Chain A
Amino acid sequence: MGQRRMYSSGMAILTLKVNGRSQQVDVDPATPLLFVLSDDLDLRGPKFGCGLGQCGACTVIVNGQAVRSCITPVSTVGANEITTLEGLGTAEKPHPLQQAFIDEQAAQCGFCLSGVLLTTKTFLDRNPRATDAQIQQALSGVLCRCFGNVRMFKAIRRYAGGRTA
């Protein structure tokens, strides 16, 4: 657990490490991480899709793991490094995985992208030589209702090929 100070209303001041910066927030420690990121810290990457950990829209990377922030109480994150979609790369300097999605025009509405990119990133970090079937399996709990699947897998292959080449 990070620095934490409780006071009477059930709120606590927590220090989170988000996208390389330490930030203090004054929240109910039971609040799901997603709300702290999007409401208190104004981040746009992680999104509320279902609130049940079923779709992936809220995905962030915590300590190298893809985590569903809508069902993760902020108090459990502690001092671990949190990376959101906007922390992966910037519009000016996108991460190679993001660049591959841009190159393949691999999105329609874009609401699902935190789940797709961050789940892929953490999986390929651990399994750099994963087969297509393994990547597909890793993404089986991630939803894209526009069904951009064809382009997304093209983009993922482009990125994975570039890493192992």
Chain B
Amino acid sequence: MTPHLSSDAQRLLVRAGFSRRAFLKGSGALVVAFSSAGALDGLSQLFAQGFNGASSPQLDSWIAIGRDGTVTAYTGKCDFGQGLYTAQIQLVAEEVGVPFNRVRLIQCDTSITPDQGTTSGQQSHPANFNHSNLALAGATAREALIKMAATRLGAPASDLVARDGRVEVKATPSRNVAYGDLVGGQRFNLQLDQAAKRKHPSEWTVLGTPVPRVDMREMVTGQFEFVHNVKVPGMLHGRVVRPPEVGSTVGSVDESSIRELPGIVKVVVKGNFVGVVAQKPWQAMQGAEKLKVNWTRGIPLSPQGDLYSELRKQPSRDTLLVDSGDVDAKLKAASTVLRATYNHPYQMHASMGSSCAVADVQGDKATIWSATQSAYPTRNTSAMLLGIKQENIRVIYVRGAGCYGINGADTVSYDAALLSQAVGKPVRVQLSRKDEMAWENYGNAFAVDQRVALDANGNIAVWDYEGWSAARGGRPGYNTPGNVVTGFLAGSNPGALAPRTPAPAPDGPLNNNFNTAPSYIAGRVRDSANGAGVIRSERVLSHRVLSPFFTGPLRAPERLQNTFAHECFMDEVAAYAKADPVEYRLKHLNHARLSAAIRAAAKAANWEQRPSPRPIRAQIGKAIGRGIACVCYEGDNGFVAMIADVIVDRDTGRIEVTRLTVAQDCGPISNPDGMRNQIEGGALQGMSRALGEEVTWDDRKITSVDWRTYHSLTLGMPLPAMNIVLLNQTDVEACGSGETSITVVAPAIGNAVFDATGVRLRQVPFTPERVRAAIRNNSE
């Protein structure tokens, strides 16, 4: 047996205190506790760091070596199913110098793992994939072990090498000492050494290899413990009763309406938060369904059809990212100006499992088992809602269904905590499908206007971007529980939007974290030029307005919406200039890695150089086409190009994607199979979002509340052939691979549809009705 934490072992670990302590002591590793909640009091008194805040400078907070040489590592970055757990074990094994199967990794438990905020976005970004902390801890530990071994073996450190859990003399490997004999069961008592030397990818033996997921076997055989499976003694079951309409408030609650039902323990009301606690899940469901609540009418919602015009009419907070100052004059003077508007709807995370959490609030102490991406922030914001000291709350991460951003995991953690506090017993809450879908934090809706002016050679001389997007709430962070629905219903407000017009001048250098700026502009602000392109007359102005719905990060948040607009528009301009879309992109780029990704994709797809649309096109029936899109994700966090091959049925409006070719550079690759898995899943999820997904509403409420009304593709979707090129770059920092492929799917498909039909799709999703209408309008 490997010492990886099986889910059952994790369960032991996270359950009753004695089990946890016994488990950890069994490995001979010390534990540095970060809070005094729960059963670790004894240990935490011994080893408390008094640490409260971001990360930890103490090596012992990250790495402990047992007497048996087992390495226990503590991470505040968690696995949602993307494979980060396995990849982080690889990272620790590599840096410390032990075999993969001698590392135990403990993730996201506020009593014993460092505060690393939120795990989000592109997981291999240095900030997220622990390059600057867990990996540095591994390197610090390795160097410290070599130093200790030098004394022990009486040899200079430069003559020693650390590998396979031992330090040995290079010339005479038989002279060696095991890690466990150097420091096993003791603390390092060292600070993280910023100068500790990370291993170069050329030296990697564990990292960079396709290590299979350590959780795969348990998942596939139904053994894996999700947060949905957490059970604690005496646990009751809760359900929430959400308002029937957006903005409804509680008038009165008739508790007697469910008094006759079996198993009901309590009706809980706190402000506009309403929930029912019962003995059994089925009883709680029925109670929540039958409870009579008089709600006020909600706020009237603008018709869905007016969404994109409404976005432009609200008070907005305006931001200028780039402004060369000459855009209006140059557009006015130009002989050729092209313009287009692109619209992107609200979409949802729509996790496979409706969100679930278990909380045990006893007096002034609480434990919350949660699938949150943000263990410490959830601890702090739960403390605010419960009126308990944050030090007295322990949040234990247990995986939920794939989240793709802030799904209902945070809000249901609050639900469970509030219900548990009301009954003084542990309560498990799982949301209904409707509660999940009607109230989650949606991906923002966007409307984007762009204009370009062409010079005499048909090149782009001016690029003007103006975007409007709607937002409300978001991640709660450390102090804003009202950013998600439960916090709001229980009396906290979401973060405010402070209107600001006009936008202040850019204060640069350009940070293109949200891909608001297209890749083709120079991005000049004062003395800096952080853009990926060459266009020097440039303006990027965005307007943020208030949404009636909660919004928050959804896989490739904002980057996907912006990239859809940029990359389709770029294609329009190339077509106008009668230029090959690949060549035309390359001509306007000044970014070696993105250009290399484009060339690699074009080569792999056998890209035929010619302008779009294709010269001979079917006028009836099925038409075939190809399209390209690319992005420097977040400006500098992953570089991807995708080519889509499609067949468009002009009669039905159906788009069949027959092949997706993806070339991606995310620096040195931690786990190539994991990266492929992310690219494949991202590409298909991107297809689902491009072709069908859209949040819908009527005059008072959300109407996309299940899988019949929110249109995700299923296992029955026709699968495109996937042609993936991994560009492994070993002399740069690792960057992201989780959100890159999804970002370019809609524009690649939209551009392919144009290539096939000569018809431009400017609004997501590309439903058959919309495609048919576009084709019809074009031929009139």
Tell me what chain A mostly uses at the interface: helix, strand, loop, or mixed: loop
**How near does chain A come to B696, taking the closest CB pair, in angstroms?**
17
Interface pairs (21), CB distance under 8 Å: A35-B282, A38-B228, A39-B280, A49-B354, A85-B221, A98-B221, A101-B216, A102-B220, A105-B216, A108-B81, A108-B677, A110-B81, A111-B353, A136-B719, A139-B714, A145-B685, A147-B681, A149-B680, A149-B715, A152-B715, A153-B719
Residue A43 interfacial (CB < 8 Å): yes
For B402, list chain A residues within 8 Å (CB). Answer: 108-109, 111, 145-146
- Return the chain A residue nearest B715 by Cβ: A139
In contact, B715 and A116 (Cβ under 8 angstroms): yes
Specify the chain B residue showing the minimal Cβ separation from A108. B81
Known contacts A31-B282, A32-B282, A50-B706: A111-B226 contact under CB 8 Å: yes
B190-233 vs A, Cβ < 8 Å mask (1 yes, 0 no): 00000000000000000000001101111111111110110100
Contacts of B281 in A (CB 8 A): 35, 39
Say if the beta carbon of B142 comes within 8 Å of chain A. no
Given A47-B226, A105-B212, also A136-B715 (CB < 8 A) = yes
Name the 8 nearest CB pairs between A and B, nearest first.
A140-B716, A109-B81, A45-B222, A85-B222, A110-B219, A109-B402, A86-B222, A147-B684
Answer whether residue A164 sits at the interface, using C-beta atoms and an 8 A cutoff. no
Q: B280: which A residues are within 8 A, CB to CB?
A: 27-28, 31, 35, 39
Residue A142 interfacial (CB < 8 Å): yes
Residues of B near A11 (CB, < 8 A) are 262
Whether the pair B222, A150 counts as a contact (CB closer than 8 A) is no
Known pairs A43-B222, A107-B220; A142 contacts B677 (CB<8 A): no
Q: Does the CB pair A143–B222 fall under 8 Å?
A: no
Partner of B719 from A43, A48, A50, A150 at Cβ < 8 Å: A150
Q: Which of A82-106 contact B (CB under 8 A)?
A: 84-91, 94, 98, 101-102, 105-106
State how many angstroms separate the Cβ of B98 from the closest Cβ of chain A.
24
The answer to whether A91 and B217 touch across the interface, beta carbons within 8 angstroms, is yes
Give the Cβ gap from B355 to chain A, nearest Cβ, in Å.
Answer: 11
Known: A108-B402, A145-B712. A49 touches B352 (CB 8 A): yes
Given A109-B402, A145-B402, 6 other A-B residues pairs in contact with their CB atoms under 8 A: A48-B430, A49-B352, A49-B433, A52-B706, A111-B226, A117-B220
Q: Which residues of A contact B708 (CB under 8 A)?
A: 54
B interface with A by C-beta (< 8 Å): 80-83, 212-213, 215-226, 228-229, 231, 237, 262, 280-283, 285, 350-354, 356, 399-402, 404, 430, 432-433, 673, 677, 680-685, 688, 706-708, 712-719, 722
B270 shortest CB reach to chain A, Å: 25
Q: With a 10 A CB-CB cut-off, give which of A38, A45, A107 has the most chain B CB atoms.
A: A107
User: B82 near A101 (CB under 8 angstroms)?
Assistant: no
Chain B's closest residue to A110 (CB) is B219
Report yes or no: B719 in contact with A102, Cβ–Cβ below 8 A.
Answer: no
- In the assembly, what is the distance between CA of A110 and CA of B226, in Å? 9
Q: A50-B433, A146-B685 are in contact. Are A86 and B221 (CB under 8 A)?
A: yes
Known: A86-B222, A107-B220. A145 touches B352 (CB 8 A): yes
Does A64 have its Cβ within 8 Å of any Cβ on chain B? no
Give the chain A neighbours of B223 by CB distance below 8 A: 44, 86, 90-91
Bound: A105/B225 CA distance, A: 18
Chain A window 66-91, contacts with chain B (Cβ cutoff 8 Å), 1 for yes, 0 for no: 00000000000000000011111111
Q: Which residues of A contact B399 (CB under 8 A)?
A: 109
Q: How large is the interface on A (under 10, 10 to 19, 20 to 34, 35 or more residues)?
A: 35 or more
Q: Which residue of B lies closest to A55 (CB)?
A: B707
Contact A141–B354 (Cβ < 8 Å):
no
Q: How far is the CB of B300 from chain A (nearest CB, A)?
A: 29
Contacts of B219 in A (CB 8 A): 107, 110, 113
The interface residues of chain A lying within 8 Å CB-to-CB of B400 are 109, 111
What separation, in Å, do the CA atoms of A28 and B683 have in the docked complex? 44
Quick one: closest B residue to A148, CB to CB? B681
Residues of B within 8 A of A20 (CB): none
**A105 touches which of B352, B673, B706, B715 (Cβ 8 Å):** B673
The listed residue (B220, B228, B262) touching A28 by CB distance below 8 A is B262
User: Is there contact, CB below 8 Å, between B680 and A150?
Assistant: yes
Q: Which residues of A contact B707 (CB under 8 A)?
A: 50, 52, 54-55, 143
| A108-B402, A109-B81, A110-B219 known; A142-B714 Cβ under 8 A | yes
Tell whether A145 pairs with B401 under 8 Å between CB atoms, given A10-B262, A91-B221, A110-B215: yes
Which of B237, B350, B685, B715 touches A142 (beta carbons < 8 Å)? B715
Nearest CB in chain A: distance from B430 CB, A: 6
**Chain B residue nearest to A118 in the complex (CB):** B222
Chain B residue contacts of A61, Cβ below 8 A: none
Structural contact, B684 and A143, CB atoms closer than 8 A: no
One digit per residue, 1 when the CB lies within 8 angstroms of any chain B CB and 0 when it does not, for chain A 22-61 equals: 0000011011100100110011110111111011010000
Residues A143 and B81 in contact, CB atoms below 8 Å apart: no
Q: Please give the distance in Å from B11's CB to the nearest CB on chain A.
A: 10
